[in-house]
Amino acid sequence: MIAKIGIAAALLWATAASAETRLTVFISSQQRPDVMRHAFDKFELANPGIKIAIQSGGTTSELQAAYLNTVMSAKDPTLDIFLLDIVRPAQFAAAQWTVPLNDQVGDVATLLKSYLPAYADADTVDGKLVALPAFADTMFLYYRKDLLAKYNREVPKTWTELAATARIIQQGENNPDLQGVSFQAAAIEGTVCTFLLPYWSAGKNLVSDGKLTWDRDAALNSFAMWTGLVKSGVAPRNVAEIATETTRKDFQAGKAAFSVLWSYGWQLFQGADSAVKDKVGVAVLPSTDGGQPVSCIGGWQWGVSAYSAHKEDAIKLVRFMSSTETSKQLAIEGSLMPVFPSLYQDPDVLKAVPWYAYALPVVTAAKSRPVTARYNEVSDIIRTQTNAVLAGSITAGDAATQMEARLRRVLK
């Protein structure tokens, strides 16, 4: 009898286990999988028949996109959900790699009004909702509060002011390893933003209604501003080799007075192993002389694979992960910026991340890189030419000419 009961129990357990749905979610190791896990655990408690596995990889937007391109091209059904950089939803929708969500979310227009406008726009392609916002991001200016106080300097409002302040600090500290400012100029996605920041600050747009709106003077001025920082010694001479994590690590190690970096740096700068703990301030990025302050918007979106064998459950999870409650949890536990404007005034969020109190105007006004199904080509053109100029392998004039010609072929 005992043996029969044991066999019956085993059969029931096996039946329950086989009925369990397993969802696999792909996120980067840089996107706080530990914090995501906490949110997934909550979802599992509310949905006992679903288990969530994290697949992690790709420390940059490019590496993540390359991996996902391979998986989706193979029509692999083992991946159910993935995080997409804000520049990717249009590409994935064009390839029919994501599940349109219109029929699953009810009133799309009302839903999208609750999010920051940039993310609502990025996730809607040809009237179809192809992804849902996960967390926001934008570039900020990080600065050493202690060094500005020591030399009685204000937070710079323009790049000219930043260069002057950085030189004063460098000369006063007499430390040859201290960079004035660290920014990205390696041939990576962040360097697209590096080129666009001065271009936008001058009041120019690169793309309008899908068409190139090129301004050669603005492009040349962008190159001149960044190369000027290198020539003056404010930025390091090997800036063409600097990627996002290089900037983060250098600033965290106390090797830079200023840095241009995404919001994820804040929590890491406050860690026990940080040389700049409690010494960091955050501000709006400077403007060009006579220009307007502007930032480059980033952020990540939840997409459901068109080849998932569990689309209904995957959509349910994505809706949970894109909710106000989860956005608040990600902000408090991981300093991942909310996609809901209302959370930037939430007392619990501000207690955990006080500088969010002034972040909303920045992230609301930040500009988006071109939204196009051919973004990979656009990105490659901008970052490789910018990298070449800062590496000294091409003149700014030749780079501007090549960039314009190639962009016109892509953005017809």
Its sign, for the CA torsion 66, 24, 100, 111, is negative
Residue 43: burial class (beta carbons within 10 Å; 0-12, 13-18, 19+): middle
**What integer pLDDT is reported at residue 57 of this predicted model?**
82
* Closest C-alpha among 310, 316, 301 to residue 26: 301
136: tokens are 């926001």
**What integer pLDDT is reported at residue 11 of this predicted model?**
42
278: tokens are 């409690």
**What integer pLDDT is reported at residue 15 of this predicted model?**
43
* pTM (predicted TM-score): 0.83
Q: What is the pLDDT along the chain (412 residues), one digit of tens a residue?
A: 444 444 544 444 444 444 589 999 999 877 889 999 999 999 999 999 999 999 988 777 888 888 999 999 999 999 999 999 999 998 899 999 999 998 888 788 888 889 998 888 789 888 889 999 999 999 999 999 999 999 999 999 999 999 999 999 999 999 999 999 999 999 999 999 999 999 999 999 998 877 899 999 999 999 999 999 999 999 999 999 999 999 999 999 999 999 999 988 888 998 899 999 999 999 999 999 999 999 999 999 999 999 999 999 999 999 999 999 999 999 999 889 999 999 999 999 999 999 898 888 888 888 889 888 888 899 999 999 999 999 999 999 999 999 999 999 999 7
Neighbours of 365 (CB within 10 A): 15
The domains of the chain, with CATH numbers, are: 2-130+298-357 (3.40.190.10), 138-296+369-410 (3.40.190.10)
- The gap from C-alpha 384 to its chain's centroid, in whole angstroms, comes to 19
Q: Beta strand pairing status for 132-144 and 179-182?
A: unpaired
SS3 annotation, the chain: CHHHHHHHHHHHHHHHHHHCEEEEEEECCCCCHHHHHHHHHHHHHHCCCEEEEEEECCCCHHHHHHHHHHHHHCCCCCCCEEEEECCCHHHHHHCCCECCCHHHCCCHHHHHHCCCHHHHHHCEECCEECCEEEEEEEEEEEEEHHHHHHCCCCCCCEHHHHHHHHHHHHHHHCCCCCEEEECCCCCCCHHHHHHHHHHHHCCCCCEECCEECCCHHHHHHHHHHHHHHHHCCCCCCCHHHCCHHHHHHHHHCCCEEEEEEECCHHHHHCCCCCCCCCCEEEECCCECCCCCCCCEEEEEEEEEECCCCCHHHHHHHHHHHCCHHHHHHHHHHHCCECCCHHHHHCHHHHHHCHHHHHHHHHHHHCECCCCCCCHHHHHHHHHHHHHHHHHCCCCHHHHHHHHHHHHHHHCC
Q: Which amino acid is at 329?
A: Q
Residue 37 has phi, psi (to 5 degrees) of -60, -40
